[in-house]
Amino acid sequence: MVRGDEENNCLQLIRFHWSEMEFSGLSDSDKSELKHAIFTSMPNQQSSMFPDFVFDGGFVEHFKITASRESRRKGSEQKRQESNFQKECATAFREMKNKLDQQPPEHLPTGQVKLFSESHEMFSPEYQYEFYISSFQNNFTHHINSLQKYSETQETGIFLIEYTGALLKVMKDGYFTKRFYSPSLDIKILHFLQSYKDILQYIVFTDGQHCEALSLKNIESVIEKIPDRIYFEFGRLRNIHLNIALTI
């Protein structure tokens, strides 16, 4: 048995957007090393064990983070709402189909169809920067604990971190800077990661649209480059599902 869709889809996303990747703290040789790792990684055949992917000399471990409220027992509010929303949409589609099935058949001119549609929108959960920091740190620490139990020889360790939720905008003096969040701009996250630079080599971060690779061994140089007076503000997330049926 191999890894699930979430892990594979995220790795494929990184590969697809490699040419657009932002790099922080990586030398040219680091970039080559990381690219080799990402493009040669294979799923761990022990599906329930750390890590998710392996390559010659290292591993890639994937996990998700959120900026919605999160608990160990129930998971994130974002994931719960998405799951409920998918169930509601599926139920609504079945009801629409059953209603159409019960209607008498219409004799439409040859080549014509009749279209029925309905849209559903998910209400976004509450997002907070404090929730984001907590999710990042808690999930990161959990996977570090798994890494420390990992007995295989590894020279290059990579955490593939996938953020789900409304995008964080980079703000300065009350204005949107036209940039979106990346860990290399977040002083709290960088100081947190400093503690692990002797354990882990790289993190690769994505929010589904933007991707950044960060070298932990050179994290001090990344910290020095953070612009002054920036902060983060959440955008709006709209999750819309469209049910469509037609008669012919």
Is the CA virtual torsion 96, 101, 104, 110 positive or negative? positive
What are the residue ranges spanned by the domains of the chain? Answer: 5-70+126-167+180-226
Check residue 192 and give its pLDDT.
Answer: 98
pLDDT at 239: 62
For residue 220, the tally of other CB atoms under 10 A from its CB is: 11
pLDDT for the residue numbered 122: 63
Task: Go through 7-32 and write b for each residue having 16 or more CB atoms within 10 A of its CB, e for each that does not.
Answer: beebbebbeeeeeebebbbbeeebee
Q: Phi-psi category of 209—alpha, beta or left, where left has phi over 0 and alpha has psi -120 to 50?
A: alpha
Question: Using 50, 70 and 90 to split pLDDT, how confident is the model at 84?
Answer: confident
Answer whether residue 1 shows pLDDT above 60.
no
- Quick one: average pLDDT of 221-229? 95
135-169 pLDDT per residue, tens = 999 999 999 999 999 988 788 999 999 999 889 99
Is residue 92 scored above 70 in pLDDT? yes
Mean pLDDT, range 207-224, rounded to an integer: 96
Give the pairing type, strands 22-24 and 211-215.
parallel
Percent of the chain clearing pLDDT 90 (strictly above): 62
More confident position, 38 or 242: 38
Q: Mean of the pLDDT values across residues 159-185?
A: 95
Q: Tell me the average pLDDT across 64-75.
A: 77
Q: pTM for the complete prediction? A: 0.78
